[in-house]
Structure 1
Amino acid sequence: MTPSARLSAAIELVAAVDAAPRKPADAVANDFFRDRRYIGSGDRRAVSERAWAVLRGRRRLAWWLERVGARVNPRLLVAASLILDGWTLSGVAQSFSGGRFGPTPLNPDEQAQLAELEGHTLEHPKMPQAVKLEVPDWILPLLRARFGHELNAEMAAMALPAPLDLRVNLLKATLPEVQAALAGEGIEAVPTALSPWGLRVEGRRPVSTGKAFRDGLVEIQDEGSQILAALVGAAPDMRVVDFCAGAGGKTLALAMVMANRGHIVACDVSAPRLDAAVKRLRRAGIHNVERHLVAPGDKWAKRRAGGFDRVLVDAPCTGTGTWRRNPDARLRLVEQDLRELVPKQAGILEQASRLVRKGGRLVYATCSVLQEENEAQVQAFLSAHPEFSIVPLADAWALPGQAPCSGPFLALTPRRHGTDAFFGAVLERAT
């Protein structure tokens, strides 16, 4: 593809994301490139990088365009991102030349508006803080309450692209063996800082098409998610429930920790998500997992009350901790989402708690940074359930080295720990 054709494709991809406001951008991009198999890997990377630059700077780019009286649309968002990245107007105009497969030429109004952006960067001192931080206005007070004076630094870290983290499947290979296998595929991977099963790959690499992945030696899983799985404290021969299992990422890690022994029940309300776990379990060589579809009026949990040593509740949440991977999710999130999620989380936690045996543990987790979904949720549950008490993180920590957080809960952030932001609380039921 020519540079102009790449820009045209980036404009189309941003428009496709805009046209699917409730669909994650990475899923939109997968469909976009699947329908355009003629776009090679190098071109795909260039198109994605430009589109993601727009998504990561969407509020600031829109602020600039509105400031100069321009329309906010995919075409001008891409053009503005180039100007504010240091391109000259003449360079942009040359790329928007109307040539074969390229964007149509800039009209006189567009040229005049973009000319006002020349010499500027994406930041401007007059921008409101929510615009600078690329977050909705309504969530800014909640983020301030969570991070205080560290808010700007935390959000800056969350604005950076995330690395690719892998979890080594110890049921099939050791970490050095997997490192060597990946190196043989031309992929350099280094051990993660906190997870003893983790490997980190910088940039976007086609790991899922390689032999190591196909043979089940590795799974794609953020280091923070690996740590949450470890926090469950599962061991061989235990009975464990992954209550909101989804496609089974943490289920796979639990099965590995349990050496493929004991019994795991992966529960979810979505049949497609549970079905997606089957292939992953088979590839990993796991056979101690039972799947259960949770349906309205389901008596399954009632019949198995008090029957499990560990219950993990990775609750549905705002996903604010994954914004570095899903920058588009920032502006898709609305206040109503949080209002609906908080009681939903409380209901799930209530239901899952009944499965925990006396002396067993309930682990509540989210990929959110908001106190309303995390600490406040746990405190409300404990107020209603005095039979449960907090196991301090230092006591629940079972990985090498000291626990990465000083408080009673796990609270990972990209800035402090280099992972996605995760929250985890370990609660023990009195004997």
Structure 2
Amino acid sequence: MTPAARLQATLDLSSAVENDARPADAVTAAWVRTRRHLDDRDKGAILERLHALLRHRARLGWWLVRHGQEDDPRKRLLAWLTLGEGRTPVEVARLFAGAKGAPAALTDGEGALLAALKGCTIVHPAMPDAMRLECPPWAIEPLRRRFGAAFEAEMAALLTPPPLDLRVNPIQTTREAVLAELKGLGLPAEPTKLSPDGVRLPERVALARLPGLKTGAIEIQDEGSQLVASLVDARPGERVVDFCAGAGGKTLAIAARMRNKGHVVACDVNEARLKRCAERLRAAGLHNAETRLLAGETDRWVKRHKGGFDRVLVDAPCSGTGTWRRNPDARWRAPEDEGLAGLVALQGRILASAARLVRPGGRLVYATCSLLPEENEQQVAAFLAAHPAFAVVPLREAAPQLTTSAHPDHLSLTPARHDTDGFFAAVLRREGPPEPVAED
């Protein structure tokens, strides 16, 4: 593709993301599948520019409004080429020439915009903090309270492109073998620092270059997510529930640690996600897991299996603030219809219901990919106050090798401190009998 054709493709994809209710990663995946004629370099350049537009959306929009322009995908792309890539108005005009396959020619207003932006940087002293830090207004004060003096450093880390983390499937191979294979392909792979099953590539690569993804030998999974799964500490022969399994990333990690012995139940309220989970389990050669579709957090299946499991993971639906560097569009999606308070209430109901499944002496792990205390430490404290049969298992006992957590008792990972997505996990143990269960 020519540089101009890449720009038109970026504009097409950006418009598709803008007008689709699905997350950007789902839209881009569908877009790529229908354009198999593009080579890896073209796809990489297009996706890299798209993610740059998403990461800097608020600041680009501020500049457009400042100069009386409509905040739309085309104008944001023009502003990014000037403010982010440092192109001159003449260079941009050559690319927007209206030739076949290229973006339409610049209007007089767009030419005036480029002239006004010439020599400017993407950050301006007059920008409000929410714009400058690319932080939605509903989250800025909770995050400021969470991080204090480190707030701006953490926000800056959330604006950096993430590495590509892989989890090795020990049923099929070893980390050493995967590292050797990737280096043989010319990829600068290295072991992750915290997860014993992880491999890191410093930059994203074309997934077609990773043959292990097709065979189930490796899975794409952030190092922080791998650590959450390891805190479940599922042993061969045990009975385990992944209560909010989704597409099964953590389910696969748990089942593999059990070496195909014992039983894992992957639960979710979304049938399509569970179908994907089942497919991934088969591809990975894992036969000790099943999927279970629930009608809701108080599904009768939970009552029937009260106290029947050694380990229960609640990877709760959350604001996703910890994933903003990987899913930059997520920061502009409000958390649920009822806001953060409604989301916190839902998490509390899910955790209380899933806790019924844990046997005396069993382990309950509550996790989110959020950086907000309301969804994390405060949620755990409220649960413990209402459920005295449970007690915290301090991180030094649950995972003594994890010594760099931002919290003394729970796993707390942040992009700036750990170079992972933001994750939280609390390990709890049932020390008393299950509470009586009322009719649902």
TM norm structure 2: 0.94
Please tell me whether the aligned partners of residues 181 and 212 of structure 1 are also in contact (alpha carbons under 8 angstroms).
Answer: no
**Structure 1 residue aligned with 2:68:** 69
Instruction: Note the residue ranges of structure 2 that are not aligned, 5 or more in a row.
Output: 433-440
SS of residue paired to 1:306:
coil
**Structure 2 residue aligned with 1:304:** 305
Distance 1:31 1:230 in 2: 32
Matches within 5 A, 1:359-398: 359-397=361-399
**Structure 1 residue aligned with 2:97:** 97
Distance 1:73 1:401 in 2: 45
Distance 2:101 2:174 in 1: 48
Distance 1:300 1:279 in 2: 23
* Cα-to-partner distance string for 1:157-202 (whole Å, 9 max, x where unaligned): 1111111100111111111111122233343310000001100012
Matches within 5 A, 1:243-254: 243-254=243-254
Structure 1 residue 406: deviation in Å? 4.5
**Structure 1 residue aligned with 2:340:** 338
* Cα-to-partner distance string for 1:337-356 (whole Å, 9 max, x where unaligned): 42321111111101100011
**Structure 2 residue aligned with 1:44:** 43
**Structure 1 residue aligned with 2:223:** 223
**Structure 1 residue aligned with 2:77:** 78
Matches within 5 A, 1:25-424: 25-85=24-84, 86-207=86-207, 210-296=210-296, 298-333=299-334, 336-397=338-399, 400=401, 402=403, 404-424=405-425
Please tell me whether the aligned partners of residues 367 and 422 of structure 1 are also in contact (alpha carbons under 8 angstroms).
Answer: yes
Distance 1:211 1:14 in 2: 29
Q: Do the aligned partners of residues 208 and 405 (structure 1) sit closer, same or farther apart at CA in structure 2, a change above 3 Å counting? A: farther
Structure 1 residue 401: deviation in Å? 5.7
Structure 1 residue 96: deviation in Å? 0.8
Please tell me whether the aligned partners of residues 182 and 212 of structure 1 are also in contact (alpha carbons under 8 angstroms).
Answer: no
Distance 1:84 1:351 in 2: 50
SS of residue paired to 1:219:
strand
SS of residue paired to 2:266:
strand
Distance 1:73 1:379 in 2: 43
Q: Do the aligned partners of residues 403 and 143 (structure 1) sit closer, same or farther apart at CA in structure 2, a change above 3 Å counting? A: closer
Please tell me whether the aligned partners of residues 169 and 218 of structure 2 are also in contact (alpha carbons under 8 angstroms).
Answer: yes
Structure 1 residue 39: deviation in Å? 2.5
Structure 1 residue 134: deviation in Å? 0.7
Distance 2:18 2:27 in 1: 10
* Cα-to-partner distance string for 1:303-336 (whole Å, 9 max, x where unaligned): 1111111110000111111000110111122573
Distance 2:209 2:48 in 1: 21
Distance 1:376 1:131 in 2: 28
Distance 1:241 1:265 in 2: 5
TM norm structure 1: 0.96
Distance 2:187 2:278 in 1: 27
* Cα-to-partner distance string for 1:10-58 (whole Å, 9 max, x where unaligned): 11111111101x3111111122222333332211111111121111100
Please tell me whether the aligned partners of residues 240 and 311 of structure 2 are also in contact (alpha carbons under 8 angstroms).
Answer: yes
Instruction: Note the residue ranges of structure 1 that are not aligned, 5 or more in a row.
Output: none
Distance 2:120 2:248 in 1: 46
Distance 1:64 1:362 in 2: 48
Distance 1:209 1:49 in 2: 17
Q: RMSD between aligned alpha carbons?
A: 1.5
Q: Which moved more, 1:188-197 or 1:329-338?
A: 329-338
SS of residue paired to 2:62:
helix
Distance 1:374 1:190 in 2: 31
Please tell me whether the aligned partners of residues 364 and 424 of structure 1 are also in contact (alpha carbons under 8 angstroms).
Answer: yes
SS of residue paired to 1:70:
coil
Question: What code does the residue aligned with 2:35 have?
Answer: R
Distance 1:411 1:208 in 2: 33
Question: What code does the residue aligned with 1:404 have?
Answer: S
Structure 1 residue 209: deviation in Å? 5.8
Q: Which moved more, 1:403-412 or 1:84-93?
A: 403-412
SS of residue paired to 2:327:
coil
Q: Do the aligned partners of residues 343 and 334 (structure 1) sit closer, same or farther apart at CA in structure 2, a change above 3 Å counting? A: closer
Distance 2:407 2:364 in 1: 20
Structure 1 residue 241: deviation in Å? 0.8
Please tell me whether the aligned partners of residues 361 and 428 of structure 1 are also in contact (alpha carbons under 8 angstroms).
Answer: yes
Please tell me whether the aligned partners of residues 352 and 383 of structure 2 are also in contact (alpha carbons under 8 angstroms).
Answer: yes
Q: How many residues align?
A: 429
Please tell me whether the aligned partners of residues 394 and 408 of structure 1 are also in contact (alpha carbons under 8 angstroms).
Answer: yes
Structure 1 residue 208: deviation in Å? 5.3
Distance 1:258 1:430 in 2: 24
Please tell me whether the aligned partners of residues 395 and 402 of structure 2 are also in contact (alpha carbons under 8 angstroms).
Answer: no
**Structure 1 residue aligned with 2:431:** 430
Distance 2:245 2:376 in 1: 19
SS of residue paired to 2:117:
coil
